[in-house]
Homo-oligomer: A and B are copies of this chain.
Amino acid sequence: MAPRNQDTKQEILRIGMDLIKRYGYNAFSYADISKVLEMKNAAVHYHFRGKEDLLAGILDQYLDDYVQLGKQLQVSRLTSLQKLDKFIERYSVLVDSNCICIIGSVASDYNTLPESVKARVTELIDLVLGMVEKTLQEGKKKGEFHFTESARTQALLIMTNLAAGVQLARISGKQDYVQIRKALLRQVKG
Main SS at interface, chain A: helix
Q: Within the assembled complex, what's the spacing in Å between the Cα atoms of A98 and B50?
A: 27
Number of copies: 2
Asked if A75 is at the interface (CB within 8 A of a chain B CB), the reply is no
How many A residues, CB 8 Å from partner?
A: 46
Tell whether A23 pairs with B112 under 8 Å between CB atoms, given A153-B179, A183-B157.
yes
Report whether A111 and B157 are in contact in the complex, using a CB–CB cutoff of 8 Å: no
Q: Which of A23, A26, A160, A167 has the most CB of B within 10 A?
A: A160
A residues lining the B interface (CB < 8 Å): 22-24, 26-27, 98, 100, 104-105, 107-112, 118, 121-122, 125-126, 148-149, 152-154, 156-157, 159-165, 167-168, 170-172, 176, 179-180, 183-184, 186-187
